A and B are shown apart, each in its own frame.
Chain A
Amino acid sequence: MKLTLWTYEGPPHVGAMRIATAMDKLHYVLHAPQGDTYADLLFTMIERLPKRPPVTYTTFQARDLGADTAGLFKTACQEAYDRFQPQAMLVGASCTAELIQDDPGGLADGMDFPVPVIPLELPAYQRKENWGASETFYHLVRKLAGAHAPPPGSERPPREPGQRPRCNLLGATALGFRHRDDVTEITRLLQQLGIDIVVTAPLGATPADIARLGEADFNVVMYPEIADTAATWLQRTFRQPAVKTVPIGINATRQFIREVAELAGVDAEPVLASEASRLPWYSRSVDSTYLTGKRVFVFGDATHAVAAARIAVHEMGFDLCGVGTYSREFARDVRAVAKEFAVEALITDDYLEVEERIAELQPELILGTQMERHIAKRLGIGCAMISAPMHVQDFPARYSPQMGFEGANVIFDSWVHPLVMGLEEHLLGMFREDFEFHDGATASHLASEGGHAVSRPTAVADSDAAAAADTVNATASVAVAEATTPATQTDTAAAAQDMTWDDEAQQELRKIPFFVRGKARRNTEAYAREQGLAEVTLDTLYEAKAHYGNR
């Protein structure tokens, strides 16, 4: 038994639902009590899908338990088949039905449906959502494509001359982090390379499409968490090699292009030469200097965490201070990247552990999931999303892939956004003890944004800025405000002791942007006091600047 406040992944049958909902003409009959129908809202509310997931729940009740839950299941199967006329059906049990052992697979098998029925055994007390999705996709592929498998041991016939190379795009699901846009981006990229796509699956595929997977020359595994198992089986069965580089980030995209081109026997150079991303230039642009050495913490599913870690270090010039994942199945990849960058890997699905690690590391930016967004908010640290689980706002209306060259643009923008900007950064360096500009404070351009900005304590002396920031999300920031109050009070107390400024110094002070003026005053006065000066002059101001100016 394990105490859980928030969970990164749902149960494995939710993974199966992500496959079923991504596809057309497939129906899932799930032996489950009524409360489990909540899962529909993940798709209709969070992803805002305009259709119900193609799932029929048996919704058995306590009074059915002694009676005929198996009969209920059979009725549900029959009604679902009659009503939805799917090309194939998935049948399985949720956690509760697993305990009553009705054997949905066996029951459905006995009903002789004229379409393939794929029984799913997804152990709910051991496994979780992504595994459930992967397992479901694998069984679907095995059953439907397997019917067209060549005799074991036979070689793949060479491509007909004149035939363009063809591949499948595997792994995109419903409720995936930017899966829909990634598919568009990668499809475009492959087209540029002169490669045709046979099937994109599961997203948008029908069972009949799945049956055609064997026609492609090779597979592109977009999301290993979902499609690795199926791709491995396809490789074995159809001798289809798989591209396993995940094209998130510039370097990974370049490598992906080379890898795909080589498998397809096409020339990568024209596409590489026409590279359409601003990330490399933006990162080199002089104003990005302030990104240098920002300490970032990365947490997400393994694929996105690994990609984010590499981008952070190589493409943004950040310092990685920690990386982790909740996908235990892919922990090895995350451990490897952690080793590469000499940080500790955090492999856990315990939200509290992640929170503790972040609090300990005090990064300047968190790249994470919805959970880390909450942690970030609580700790007053900037945060950008890189992975599921997500909230409704992480399904943006605009095109925003993570993969390919456009994905790199999106990533650059969304990671830089939560950070303090260049000028502010300098002032921060100069007056770094300012409680308003402690490492966790939100950038001033975010202060009025509602959602995720952190409001600052109100007990501030000289502060038009604080007033503006404090309109933000009063309830949500209570905890933060409480946490920072003691420091505030000391600061304010110190500032209260008067120190005279001569005219020149006062005028100079007014030239400093209002949002750091209070800090400038305080630092300068502190410096003057330290030096045993009775009055602040222009010189004192600049001496103080020199004193605090460098990190």
Chain B
Amino acid sequence: MSVPGCAKPAAVPLDVIRERGQREVFCGLTGIVWMHRKIQDAFFLVVGSRTCAHLIQSAAGVMIFAEPRFATAIIDERDLAGMADMNEELDREVKRLLQRRPDIKLLFLVGSCPSEVIKLDLQRAAERLSEQYMPEVRVLNYSGSGIETTFTEGEDTCLEALVPVCPQPPADAAQQLLIVGALPDIVEDQFRRLFDKLGIDNLAFLPPRKSSDLPSIGGNTRYLLAQPFLTATADALNKRGAQRLPAPFPFGAEGTTAWLQAAATAWGVAAETFREVTAAAEQRARSAVARYRFQLADKSIFFFPDSQLEVPLARFLHNELGMQLCEVGSPYLHKVHLAEEFAMLPADVRLSEGQHVENQLDRCIEQAPDLVVCGLGLANPLEARGIRTKWAIELLFTPIHGYDQAGDCAELFARPLIRQDKLAV
């Protein structure tokens, strides 16, 4: 475990395929599907095209019964005629929206490819609208566009936008632990209990459940990333003087322990205390995971690039379940944030970054893995070829972090194989 503050990148494994071609990955707008549930008083207004509206609605898979806290302001040909007009249009739609939803305290203007290509300045718009609606409603902006972000990076840019409006801690503030990345509430509560027992009680989460609970961020902040896709957020936090605690990600028993250990070390928690607090939970996780070893051990798995969770999950599936890694693709490999993960992977693992979906499909079909992790567009075509799949998007909608979800996480991967065994048609 490296010491906080001197994040020395571990050696990146040598075998990385870097490809350019068609990428079969959602854009960052997709993040809205889970983020709008996480921050309960926030509304996400995409400024984009009908395509953007259609994407979110289709990626959500099901329509949400309650009126959703997201919408799209669809740019039309009249808007494209003149920019001044467009800002007025946006102001009008925001006004209508806020009248309709007085419960909203935080409004995100979310940029899309069209808004970025026509250089609609959503930052200026957000500032202007914030001035108008503060203190009732704060207006921020970020990009979820497909030309700037893939899938989970929409969460990254959203959190990045929150960092500058987080308050400054008082000068004498005690060291604070910040957990960064949207987690299901139940997982947050589990982590809170564990940190509490470790004696780390100055604890905060980004994003908070309510926009009024934004954590303070400053030189006293040490942060743990709960998700591997938070590049821009980490940079923004570093700028505020916060320090990242290098750690693998909290998937599986091993990952969770190492992740907690990083904080425990920084807080000087005695090794004994640490074992006392974590041993039972870790053991529980190990036995929950072990239940699926039978299905998963020695089975081969192929990851198409999707959520950026691929590397930590591959590590978990390999180390704790004995799966064989065919290819671990990711839209982006962050050398520093993933350094601890790389160190835990088998040395001969084949990673790939970026995508050329046709070539990758060729490789995948040639290797005939037992299980493929991929996006919704590829899953059924692979199933039709007799290859079992797991949809990557489910990994974002299901609690999989921490000790008490390690078994659930394993089960997600085991289920397609269990189903295969059950079916006799």
Contact = CB atoms under 8 A, between A and B. Distances in A.
Contacts of B77: 123, 125-126
A281 interface: no
A511 interface: no
A100 B57 CA distance: 25
A132 to B, nearest CB: 10
| Best-surrounded residue of A39, A61, A76 (most CB of chain B within 10 A) | A61
A3 B93 contact: yes
Contacts of B80: 99, 125
Contacts of A374: 63, 65
Given A4-B71, A34-B146, A44 B358 contact: no
Interface in A314-371: 370-371
B68 A5 contact: yes
B97 A3 contact: yes
Contact of A125 (B25, B47, B76, B146): B76
B65 A3 contact: no
B74 A1 contact: yes
B65 A125 contact: no
Interface in A453-481: 475-476, 478-479
Given A62-B116, A96-B49, A44 B376 contact: yes
Contacts of A95: 49-51, 113-114
Contacts of B86: 1
Contact of B54 (A1, A14, A33, A99): A14
Contacts of A50: 380-381, 383-384
A2 interface: yes
Nearest to B85: A1
Nearest to B25: A34
A52 B381 contact: yes
Interface string B35-59: 0000000000101011111110111
B422 interface: no
B374 to A, nearest CB: 11
A96 B90 CA distance: 19
Given A11-B50, A37-B26, 6 more contacts: A1-B86, A37-B377, A62-B148, A123-B77, A128-B50, A476-B65
A515 interface: no
A45 B62 CA distance: 12
A35 interface: yes
A439 interface: no
A435 B332 CA distance: 57
Contacts of A96: 49, 51, 113-114, 117, 146-147
What are the 3 tightest A-B residue pairs by CB atom distance, in nearest-first order?
A35-B27, A40-B377, A35-B146
| Best-surrounded residue of B30, B71, B113 (most CB of chain A within 10 A) | B113
Contacts of B30: 35, 38
Contacts of B52: 35
A10 B377 contact: no
B186 interface: no
A310 B92 CA distance: 40
B152 interface: no
A10 B51 contact: yes
Interface in A4-59: 4-7, 9-11, 13-14, 33-42, 44-46, 48-52, 56-59
Interface string B228-264: 0000000000000000000000000000000000000
B378 interface: yes
| Best-surrounded residue of A37, A52, A83 (most CB of chain B within 10 A) | A37
A378 interface: yes
B402 interface: no
B412 interface: no
Given A1-B93, A10-B54, A65-B117, A44 B63 contact: no
A94 interface: yes
A349 B290 CA distance: 52
Contact of B25 (A37, A39, A49): A37
A42 B379 CA distance: 12
Contacts of A60: 147
A377 interface: yes
Interface in A62-93: 62, 65, 76, 79, 83
B419 interface: no
B265 interface: no
Contacts of B384: 50-51
A377 B65 contact: yes
A3 B72 contact: yes
A41 to B, nearest CB: 4
9 contacts: A4-B74, A6-B63, A11-B54, A33-B146, A49-B380, A52-B377, A62-B145, A83-B358, A476-B65
A62 to B, nearest CB: 4
Nearest to A95: B49
Contacts of B93: 1-3
B58 A38 contact: yes
Contacts of B21: 59, 79
Contacts of A123: 77
Contacts of B27: 33-36
B54 to A, nearest CB: 4
A34 B71 contact: no
Contacts of A65: 117, 147
B294 to A, nearest CB: 30
A32 to B, nearest CB: 8
A96 B75 CA distance: 11
B29 interface: yes
Contact of B55 (A35, A58, A128): A35
A94 B52 CA distance: 11
Contacts of B92: 1
B118 interface: yes
Contact of B150 (A7, A34, A39): A34
B90 A1 contact: yes
Contact of B23 (A3, A34, A44, A48): A34
B114 A76 contact: no
Contacts of B47: 1
B68 A124 contact: no
B389 to A, nearest CB: 11
Contacts of A5: 67-68, 71
Nearest to B93: A3
Nearest to B55: A38
Nearest to A475: B65
A388 to B, nearest CB: 13
Contacts of B49: 11, 95-96, 124-125
A476 B384 CA distance: 33
B201 interface: no
A59 B354 CA distance: 11
A52 B382 CA distance: 9
B114 A1 contact: no
Contacts of B113: 33, 35, 95-96
Contacts of B74: 1-4
Contacts of B23: 34, 37, 59
Nearest to A84: B358
Given A96-B49, A378-B65, A48 B116 contact: no
B377 A62 contact: no
B178 to A, nearest CB: 29
A213 B148 CA distance: 45
Contacts of B127: none
B6 interface: no
Contact of B380 (A7, A48, A79, A391): A48
Nearest to A480: B65
Nearest to B117: A99
Nearest to A60: B147
